[in-house]
Chain A
Amino acid sequence: MTRTEAGGPVPPAPAPLLELRGIAKRYGGVRALEGVDFTCRPGSIHAILGENGAGKSTLIKIMAGVVQPDEGEIRLEGERVRFAGPAAASRAGIVAIFQELSLVPDLSVADNIALADPPRRFGLIDRRAQRQRARAVLARLGCEDIDPGMRIKDLPLSRRQMVEIAKALALKPRLLILDEATSALTAADVERVFRLLRELRREGLALLYISHRMHEIAALADTCSVFRNGRHVATFPQGSRSGREIVRLMIGRDITQVYPPKPERPQPVPPCLEVEGLGWEGRLNDLTFRVGRGEIVGLGGLDGQGQRELMLALFGVLRGLSGTIRLEGRELALTGPAQAKSPACGMALVPEDRKTEGLLLPMTVRDNLSLAALPRLSRAGVVDRDRENEAVAAMIRRLRIKLGDPADPVATLSGGNQQKVVLGKWLMTGPRLILLSDPTRGIDVGTKQEIYALMRELADQGAAILFYSTDYDELIGCCDRVLILYDGRIVRVLEGAAITEQNIVASALNLGEVAA
């Protein structure tokens, strides 16, 4: 039985397809889920809302048999079931599209779409049939432009996500789950997907939709459920609650003054970074902008519009750049991060994916924190243990990193604290230009506030900050200016009062002035 709160009875609905009762899941000390009851019914789109780390993905991984619950039971049409793995779940008609893409890069689109059980003749895979199947599903998604013969690794991110959806469709699901599956889609694709989902709803599928984008949920969902640190707090018909109420349910309190105040500063600020006509491989096109000292400049737009490439380009990772980059007046031609971080340049990059690009998970917190600053913590190539320990301890105190011992593997830290370690690693080098790539991803609201405060503090101390975020709320709250990227171009620059949700969304989807 799903709990419902006073206010609007749940409309009479068909028998539940999938029921979860008293589900609990722990990861080591972490309570990912606790006593969760949850129901989803055929013919409806059910949205799940919640802060990062609220347990949404875990819930879904349990439904899809990716992880096993520690407690509780799952009933499929009343029958008690237990899914050994994703295969078992999809046989039962439960198919999930996960946050982390589940496509095999070296195989073709057709191969991937038919990966789990391809059409066979005499036990061998029937490539023609497979190709036809792929065409059919892609056509249904309105993606005739994707060649089934292409390898996944040769497709752009947005195309891959469409293939991911196609792959799920091909399994003929009865319950289809999308976990932030639209985060990287272009406006047109999002529309296509929505049309498709509504169609599927008509056909009587049960749909679970997870997104951090309120407007998408408003546009799509029939029912909403809110999760907060591992608990199911409410389920209600979409539209029966205001955005503010929902946020309160999600966070457990009103967000009061999440963001530090933006200081008024004399214009123009002294320039730190000046970029002119920057281009790369058609993924970055003629970018021109400047970031002043003490300024926080936001990078907006949908995921995968070149923000990541821009960061890497500035940090000297990309080859074959066109245009000019000037740092503190001097023109730069960087050979790589080693040079970028050198005191001469004083740059720092907090990369997008902390687990693969930011951290050395099995190594200790100490080793991770001091990695970038080692040269200045050593004499003649020999690490000065005492200075290292002091510096590390100081950074741990400054960022209030919660840990047992600096000698623990960083993997044992929480997502938020892991992210703090990445930040700390770079603060140790005393950077003057800080590139932040979605630094608050997968981080709880408390930590977020600390990070916002930290950013402003650094800016006030004279650092220039380039700040990419997928969460436009952050951009609004933190940035003095916001550059909206679309297809590797700056489509709009928002300043001061103009930095609003409508403007950001509109220009991100590249819809001109139309509000989302």
Chain B
Amino acid sequence: MRALGNALGRHLGLTLAVLLFLLFYGVYNLFHPKGFTTAVLIQNTNESFALVMAAMAQTVPVLAGGLDLSVGAVMTMVNCLASYLLAGSPAAMLGGVLVCLAAGALAGFLNGCVVVYGRLQPIVATLATGAVYLGVALWLRPTPGGAVDQDLAWALTNDLSELADTYGWLDGETAWFQAIAWLPVPLLLMILVVLLVWLPFRETVTGRTVYAVGSSEPAAFMSGLAIDRARLAAFTLAGFLAGIGGLYLAIQTSSGNADVPQAGAYTLNSIAAVVIGGTSLLGGSGGAAGSLVGALVIRAISFNFRIFDVPPLVQPLFEGIVLLAAVSLGAGRVFRVKNRLQLMT
């Protein structure tokens, strides 16, 4: 069926990413003494969560045709903020969570404003705002620290049964619960974010407009779409997702840390993840689900260093080469294209 071939061709990037992930992660689990167990899954998902969020955040502005170099900074800022707000009564903590998410969204919204109303290029605009957000983070946490409710931290970084135990919910025996008790909370959260945030957004008119703007701005305008609103929405959502990442980072490390290099690393890795996940940096095609896989690929690469005996001082080189190879996979296109003009983007 032609449509099927089309669908596959359209998601070629994503397909490749999934295969890569299955390869790296499969090998890792095969050779891991406790491979394919909940313990390993919990650890892996915990480790990947923040990067996954950063990658999904990066995806939205990229789809609209612009990079967001402040993703890591927003994440770090929210992380530092959260390290003050995630303690005390359940109500207080809930409030804290909401404040953190709002802060992330606000930061993203400000990015959007600078881009839309300031008419600055997203790359430079977010390069600058990113520095500002890092400044705020450093102001919030000149040195690492903070207190996060221990139960919360423990419960959210384990599987569902631990979650239930910790808060004494439906004393874990219930049959249906047993079926899903092994699910790691972070994995569940990733899935929820995709199902409750990304997919719905993509199906709204605004989300559709994000794609349209990235694909062809003039066409979007001619069709009477609300371009500015879409851009604002894209950056706001990016901030929101980065915020979730920062929030989880705080829960996971039960502290806030305004680590500038770490922020930079997350931003750059998020871009790599987006590309590996099959989203075009030119905008218009791809999706956050792909970036999720892309992020997992990046993580899965380094997982393997813990299994195989790669000399420690060779690891960085190895990592670099694999990354370079992974992002170069898309290059196959070059040899298929029959009209050289199409290579000129």
Q: Do chains A and B touch in the complex (CB under 8 A)?
A: yes
List residues of chain A with CB under 8 Å of any chain B CB: 66, 85-90, 98, 100-107, 111, 115-118, 120, 123-125, 127, 147, 149-151, 154, 167, 280-281, 312, 317-320, 336, 357
Q: Which of B220, B224, B339 contacts A312 (CB 8 A)?
A: B339
Compute how far the CA of A120 lies from the CA of B204 in the bound complex, rounded to whole angstroms: 8
B139: CB under 8 A from chain A? no
A sample of 23 cross-chain residue pairs with beta-carbon separation below 8 angstroms, ordered by A number, consists of A86-B224, A87-B224, A90-B224, A102-B222, A102-B223, A103-B216, A103-B219, A104-B211, A104-B284, A105-B284, A106-B214, A106-B215, A106-B216, A115-B208, A115-B225, A116-B223, A116-B224, A120-B205, A123-B204, A127-B203, A147-B2, A312-B339, A318-B340
- Return B278 CB to nearest CB of chain A, in Å: 13
Residues of B within 8 A of A98 (CB): 222
For the A-B complex with A317-B341, A318-B339 known, give 19 more contacts whose Cβ atoms are closer than 8 Å. Answer: A85-B221, A86-B221, A90-B224, A102-B219, A104-B215, A104-B223, A104-B284, A106-B284, A115-B225, A116-B225, A118-B205, A120-B205, A125-B203, A127-B203, A147-B3, A154-B6, A281-B338, A317-B340, A357-B341
Compute how far the CA of A127 lies from the CA of B208 in the bound complex, rounded to whole angstroms: 12
B337: CB under 8 A from chain A? yes
For A117, give the chain B residue with the smallest CB separation: B205
Residues of B within 8 A of A336 (CB): 340
Known: A104-B215, A125-B208. A86 touches B222 (CB 8 A): yes
Q: Which of B203, B211, B338 contacts A106 (CB 8 A)?
A: B211
Residues of B within 8 A of A100 (CB): 218, 222
For B282, give the chain A residue with the smallest CB separation: A106
B34: CB under 8 A from chain A? no
Residues of B within 8 A of A116 (CB): 223-225
B200: CB under 8 A from chain A? yes
Known: A125-B203, A147-B3. A66 touches B222 (CB 8 A): yes
For A320, give the chain B residue with the smallest CB separation: B338
B285: CB under 8 A from chain A? yes
- Return A88 CB to nearest CB of chain B, in Å: 8
Compute how far the CA of A125 lies from the CA of B199 in the bound complex, rounded to whole angstroms: 11
Residues of A within 8 A of B340 (CB): 317-319, 336
Compute how far the CA of A32 lies from the CA of B208 in the bound complex, rounded to whole angstroms: 34
Compute how far the CA of A117 lies from the CA of B208 in the bound complex, rounded to whole angstroms: 10
Residues of B within 8 A of A104 (CB): 211-212, 215-216, 219-220, 223, 284
Q: Provide the B1-38 mask, 1 if CB < 8 A to any CB of A, else 0.
A: 01100110010000000000000000000000000000
By secondary structure, the A interface counts as loop
Residues of A within 8 A of B339 (CB): 312, 317-319
Compute how far the CA of A120 lies from the CA of B226 in the bound complex, rounded to whole angstroms: 17
Residues of B within 8 A of A317 (CB): 339-341
- Return B188 CB to nearest CB of chain A, in Å: 22
Residues of A within 8 A of B225 (CB): 87, 115-116
Compute how far the CA of A154 lies from the CA of B205 in the bound complex, rounded to whole angstroms: 23
Compute how far the CA of A280 lies from the CA of B337 in the bound complex, rounded to whole angstroms: 12
Residues of B within 8 A of A151 (CB): 6, 10
Compute how far the CA of A104 lies from the CA of B212 in the bound complex, rounded to whole angstroms: 6
Residues of B within 8 A of A117 (CB): 205
Q: Give chain B interface residues in 219-257, CB to chain A under 8 Å.
A: 219-226
Compute how far the CA of A280 lies from the CA of B212 in the bound complex, rounded to whole angstroms: 31
Residues of A within 8 A of B284 (CB): 104-106
- Return A392 CB to nearest CB of chain B, in Å: 26
Compute how far the CA of A320 lies from the CA of B340 in the bound complex, rounded to whole angstroms: 11
Known: A106-B285, A147-B2, A319-B340. A115 touches B223 (CB 8 A): yes
On whether the beta carbons of A107 and B211 are closer than 8 Å, the reply is yes
Q: Give chain B interface residues in 244-272, CB to chain A under 8 Å.
A: none
Compute how far the CA of A281 lies from the CA of B225 in the bound complex, rounded to whole angstroms: 36
Q: Which of B204, B221, B337 contacts A124 (CB 8 A)?
A: B204
Name the residue in B6, B216, B284 with the highest tally of chain A Cβ atoms < 10 Å from its Cβ: B216
For B212, give the chain A residue with the smallest CB separation: A104
Residues of A within 8 A of B219 (CB): 101-105
On whether the beta carbons of B203 and A124 are closer than 8 Å, the reply is yes
Compute how far the CA of A102 lies from the CA of B200 in the bound complex, rounded to whole angstroms: 26
For B341, give the chain A residue with the smallest CB separation: A317
Compute how far the CA of A317 lies from the CA of B340 in the bound complex, rounded to whole angstroms: 6
Compute how far the CA of A118 lies from the CA of B216 in the bound complex, rounded to whole angstroms: 18
Compute how far the CA of A151 lies from the CA of B11 in the bound complex, rounded to whole angstroms: 12
Residues of B within 8 A of A167 (CB): 223
Q: Give chain B interface residues in 163-215, CB to chain A under 8 Å.
A: 200, 203-205, 208, 211-212, 214-215
For A281, give the chain B residue with the smallest CB separation: B338
Compute how far the CA of A107 lies from the CA of B219 in the bound complex, rounded to whole angstroms: 11
Compute how far the CA of A115 lies from the CA of B337 in the bound complex, rounded to whole angstroms: 29
Residues of B within 8 A of A88 (CB): 224
Residues of A within 8 A of B203 (CB): 124-125, 127
- Return A399 CB to nearest CB of chain B, in Å: 26
Residues of A within 8 A of B6 (CB): 149-151, 154
Compute how far the CA of A312 lies from the CA of B338 in the bound complex, rounded to whole angstroms: 11
Compute how far the CA of A71 lies from the CA of B337 in the bound complex, rounded to whole angstroms: 49
Q: Which of A90, A125, A150 contacts B205 (CB 8 A)?
A: A125
On whether the beta carbons of A319 and B285 are closer than 8 Å, the reply is no
On whether the beta carbons of A107 and B212 are closer than 8 Å, the reply is yes
- Return B210 CB to nearest CB of chain A, in Å: 11
- Return A154 CB to nearest CB of chain B, in Å: 7
Compute how far the CA of A120 lies from the CA of B215 in the bound complex, rounded to whole angstroms: 22
- Return A84 CB to nearest CB of chain B, in Å: 10
For B2, give the chain A residue with the smallest CB separation: A147
Compute how far the CA of A222 lies from the CA of B214 in the bound complex, rounded to whole angstroms: 41
Q: Give chain B interface residues in 29-74, CB to chain A under 8 Å.
A: none
Compute how far the CA of A336 lies from the CA of B212 in the bound complex, rounded to whole angstroms: 33
Compute how far the CA of A147 lies from the CA of B226 in the bound complex, rounded to whole angstroms: 27
For A121, give the chain B residue with the smallest CB separation: B203
